[in-house]
Every structure is written in C-alpha cells, then in structure tokens.
Amino acid sequence: MAEKTPRKDIKKATNNALELQKIPTTIPGLDDVLHGGLPAGRTTLAIGGPGSGKSILGMQFLYHGAKNDEPGIFVVFEERAEAVRQNALTLGWDLAPLEKAGNLFLYEAHVDPQAVLSGNFTIKGLLTIMEGKVRSLGAKRIVIDAIDILLRLFDDPVRERSELYALHDWLNDHKMTAILTVKDAAGAVIATRYEFLDFMADCVIHFDHRVVDQVPTRRLRVTKYRGSGFFPNECPFIIGGGGVNVIPISGIEMRHKALGAKVSSGLPQLDNLLDGGFRRASSILISGTSGTGKTILANTFAVSACKHGEKVLYINFEESAEAMASCMLSAGIDLRSALQEGKLRIMTAMPESVGSEEHLINNLKAIDEFQPDHVIIDAVSSCKRMGTPRGAYDYIMLMTNACKEKGITTILTNQTEGFQEEHEISGVGISSNIDTVLFLRYIDIGGEVNRVLLVMKARGQKHSNQYREFHITDHGIDITDVYVGEGGVLTGVARQDQEAKEAVEFRRKQLEIEYKEHLITQKKAEMTADIARRHAELAASETEMKSLKLEASLIAGERDSRANMRTDDKVNTLRKTPAPKNKRQDASRKERTQ
C-alpha cells in the first residue's frame, strides 16, 4: 500500500505534463518526434554546426505561424535581412507580404566587430528592442539566430551566464515560444555555455550534417523535453522545398495493417500459382537477372490494376517514362490509356541525383498526393546507388512500411546477379519485410534458353512450388506448364540434390560408426591379448617362484642332512618331532634318491 502512494503521484505528474501546451511546428515528421510540437511559452534550443538546418527550422516555425496570423520575430545576428529573405524564397517562403502584414519582423541584429569595449554592459538594448517589437506585433514566437554571436561579446562565462539569465527571464516573462539557435562549430559548444543553455531550455534539438561514405546526410535528435515524452533516436531529415522534412517516425514504428484481399497479378496463370493473386497491402519482390522480364511483369500488374479502376504509382529508377512505355508497347502492354486516365503515374529519378532521405520524402509526398492503391519500385537494386547500403535499406524499409500502413501493395523489382541474391540487395537484407517473392531466371537446356518463374515465398498464401516456363510475346507474358527438364521437374531435381546430399551425409556417418566400431573391436582384442600376455607373465612369474622355492627347500634339505650326519641319533630323533618338516625332508630325500 505504501508503494501505491508515490505511484499515484507519478500519474498525477504525468497528467500535469500532458497539460503542457504545445505548438505544432507543422514541420512534417518533427511533431511526431516532439510528441505534438514545441513547448508553448518556453524556450527550445537548436544546436548544430553551420548549415545544419537549425536556422531553417526557426524560420519555418515563424513562417507557419505568420501564415496563420500568429506573428513572430526573427532576430538574425550573422546574416543580412535581405539574405534571409532570399534564402526563404528558395525554400518557397515569401516573407515580404508577411512582413508587410505585420506578422513577421526580421531584425538584423548586427554586432559591430570594430566596437570598442570599455567596462561593463548588458544586453538590455536587445531586450528593449524585442520588447518594443513584441508589443507592436503582438508576437508570441521568437527565434534568435544565433545566440552565441551575442554571447561572444562578453568573453567571460560569468557575465555570459548573467546575460543569458536576463534573456531567459525576459522570454519567460513574455511567455514567448522561443527557438534559440547555437552554433556548434568545433563539434561541441563551449562546455560551460552549453551546460547553462541546456539548463535554461525546456527542449533541446541537436542538428547534425555529416558525410557518410561520401554522401551528405542530415540527422536531428531531441535530447531533452522537460515535461514531455519525445522520440529519442536520431532522425534523418532533408532540407528541400518547404524547408525541413523529417522522415516520419510512423515509418520507423510498425503499424502494419493485416494483409488484405487478393488482387489479380494481371496474369490468370500466375494468379493460379498464388492461389488467387497478390495480397493487398503486402510487399512483393520480383527478383531476377537482367532481362528476365521483371519490369514487364510489374507493368502487367499495373495495367491490370488500372483497368479495374485502381491507381498505381510507378517509381522508376532505371529508365525514363517514355522509354519504359515504348518498351512495354513492344511487349504488348499498353500503358497509354492508364496514363491518360490518370490511373497510372510514373515517377522517374536517377538514384544518385539526391540522397536516399530525399528520395524517400519525395516518394512519400507523391503517395500522399496521388493516393495510389499500389506502388511499384523499379528497381530496389538501383537504390544502393543512392549512396550507402544503409541508406538504400532505410529507403526500402521505410517505403514498404509506409505503404503497408496505408494498405498499399508494393511491388519491388530486384536485379540479381545470381541465385543466392534472389531476395537480398547486395548484402542489404530486406527479406523480413517482403511477403511474396517471385523469382525469374533463364534456364539453359538442350541448347535453348528459356525463362522460368518460381513463387519462392508467399506469406499467408498457398502457392505452387514449381518452376513454370514463361514467354514474353508481343501480347504480354504467357506462362506455360510446369517446366520439365531432363531430370524431371526442376524442383524435384533440387530436392533430389538435397536428398543426395543427405544420403551422402548419412553414409558418411555410417562409415564413421563402422570405423569407430572397428576401433573398439581392435581395442578389445588388444585388451584381451594384453590380459593373456599378463596372465602368461603372471604364470611365468609363479612358475619361476615355485622353482625358486623348490631350490630353496632343496638347499635347506641338504643342509639338514649334512647336519644329521654330524649329530647323534638322539638329537636326530628329537628334531624329527614336527611331522611335516620331516615329511618334506623325507620327500626331498626321496626325490634326491630318485
């Protein structure tokens, strides 16, 4: 019972924490990370190196506020206001009208580097300017970019701290929702400064712009949020049109929908193999070497789905939309009507044009806009060209996860170099996220090269385990019967292979047992021989001892008889008393005489 009381208190505290008001940043993904947004009326610290995106975050926050008639002030220490306006324009934010409307104020707080320092001073000037502007605009949001420039003036940790206190008090008194950015050029903010900044902020976000395997990547991480939970992991983000885009953590967590109803693959014969077709909201990998017909198979599905009034987003990393469309036409697959009706949308991009995060965000945006029923990614094997294997892996996992959450079917094509790679992309294992694997390959028998297809895996579905031969004709793909090679059904051959392997293994074991048995028999024989030998030795020893004893008694007998010869009869009679001795003496005497 005693333990229950503090528990209640904790719960109460959590309830209070829930009451903490938050202002959504409206920055895609970031509000998820912050469990709702920035703490209202409190200070958030954005720490990061130059160009890490912290200032953009600040401007983004003010811009969205200003657009919604929540005025804000941007205090910029390092840049000209005009440069800030220009930069904002490149991100698609036109600040001028907002400034005119009195919803945004850019304060170019220039610290004169030539200024002479003589005696103590405070930042009261800045505070009164902010005060005046906050009052005239009715501002509730403020961004100070970058606070370290101002602090540099003081050149003394104690004074620096007291000025930060003054700033902190001012922000609190005015219930400003503030973002202070701090430069972190040498990898770490000056320790004492950071400690205090960290203390006075309710929320701390670290920004990082690093180069991994020659690919620049951006990460942000929330390290502190007073009175609130937050997502503590590093989150990849990009800076593009619209500013900071954080990879949605909904894609990091698993919120998959159950696999849905069957949807036709576009080929009745393939549907048969799959016991009715693909499952909706599942992910299907079409794997195979170059030219085996992966793209044709994917497009066959796309056209079929579009014909049924469903929408397909085709993300192509391999060739242009025109090239693919004309290529498909020669195989009898006409994409034109699906494209014209807006059922099929083809998105093409060079994998190396941007980083994997940017591809991901672009593609997720397209999914949100287009609301497709199915997404095709052609080919995931190209994704490694986005940069790192890790980036490619994240891209594929996050894409398939996002689609699964939305109930979208994903078809991934994968160009392999060999059988062992059928559902991996150059060491990047994605198989756990794949529900169905179709494997296409060439088969070379009897001087003829044919294409065959195998359903290697189909989660939650009955499926055929046999290779089927298929042909690419000028009217699409034609799947024929079970492929029978020289040694019968190919899967049979594979099984025979396996069985043969097992038989060999069994035989090897048997031989090993036989050999061991043989060894034991030999050991036993050795032991028997050894025992016999030892018996013989023992017997020999015993014999030897017998003869030694005999010799000893003979010697004794002779001595006695010699003694008898010397003594009189009386003595002799007396000595004869112990019968056995005499007997033996008699015997030995007898022996001797004999």
Partner 1 sequence: MKQSNQPAKTGGSKNYAMLLFVVSDEPNSKQAKDNLKRICDAHSDKRYQNKIIDVVEDFQSALEYNVLVTPTLILIEPPPPVRIFGNLSDTNKVIEALRLTGD
The contact set with partner 1 (CB under 8 A) reads 107-112, 114-126, 128-129, 131-133, 150, 153
CB nearer partner 1, residue 108 or residue 424: 108
Tell me whether residue 149 or residue 244 sits nearer to partner 1 (CB atom).
149
Using H for helix, E for strand and C for coil, what is the string for 450-501?
EEEEEEEEECCCCCCCCCEEEEEEECEEEEEEECEECCEEHHHHHHHHHHHH
Cβ pair 357, 392 in contact under 8 A: no
Q: Is the peptide bond before 379 cis (omega within 30 degrees of 0)?
A: yes
The DSSP letter of residue 224 is E
Tell me how far, at minimum, the Cβ of 139 lies from partner 1, in Å. Answer: 14
Tell me the closest approach of the beta carbon of residue 233 to partner 1, in angstroms.
38
* CB 105 to partner 1: min, Å: 10
Within 8 A by CB and 6+ apart from 101, the residues are 66
In whole angstroms, the minimum distance from the beta carbon of 192 to partner 1 comes to 21
Q: 159 vs 262, which CB is nearer to partner 1?
A: 159
Closer residue to partner 1, CB minimum distance, 150 or 402: 150
How many CB atoms sit inside 10 A of residue 365's CB? 15
In whole angstroms, the minimum distance from the beta carbon of 54 to partner 1 comes to 21
The nearer residue to partner 1, 108 or 334, going by C-beta atoms, is 108
Decide whether 124 or 507 has the Cβ nearer to partner 1. Answer: 124
Place of tokens 């099929």: 344
Tell me the torsion sign for CA atoms 435, 440, 445, 450.
positive
Distances (CA, A) of 60 to 27, 248, 568: 8, 17, 145
At residue 85, what is the residue type? R
Per DSSP, 247 falls in state P
Q: How far is the CB of 169 from partner 1 (least distance, A)?
A: 15
Do residues 17 and 228 lie in contact, with contact meaning Cβ atoms separated by under 8 Å? yes
**Residue 150 or residue 472: which is nearer to partner 1 going by CB?**
150
Distance in angstroms (rounded) separating the CA atoms of residues 207 and 592: 119
Query: Given the complex with partner 1, which of 131 and 275 has the nearer CB atom?
Result: 131
- Judged by phi (left if over 0) then psi (alpha if -120 to 50, else beta), residue 377 lies in beta
Give 126's contacts (C-beta < 8 A, 6+ positions apart).
75, 109, 150
**Contact (Cβ atoms closer than 8 angstroms) between residue 302 and residue 335:** yes
Least distance (Å) between residue 23 CB and partner 1: 26
* Three-class HEC string of 140-161: CEEEEECHHHHHCCCCCHHHHH
In whole angstroms, the minimum distance from the beta carbon of 246 to partner 1 comes to: 33
* Angle at alpha carbon of residue 314, lines to 310 and 316, rounded to 5°: 175
Least separation in angstroms between residue 6's CB and partner 1 is 47
Closer residue to partner 1 in complex, CB, 109/286: 109
* DSSP strands (E only) in 310-406: 312-316, 344-348, 374-378
CB-based contact 33:198 (threshold 8 Å): no
Residue placing its CB nearer to partner 1 in the complex, 126 or 203: 126
Least distance between partner 1 and beta carbon 128 (Å) = 4
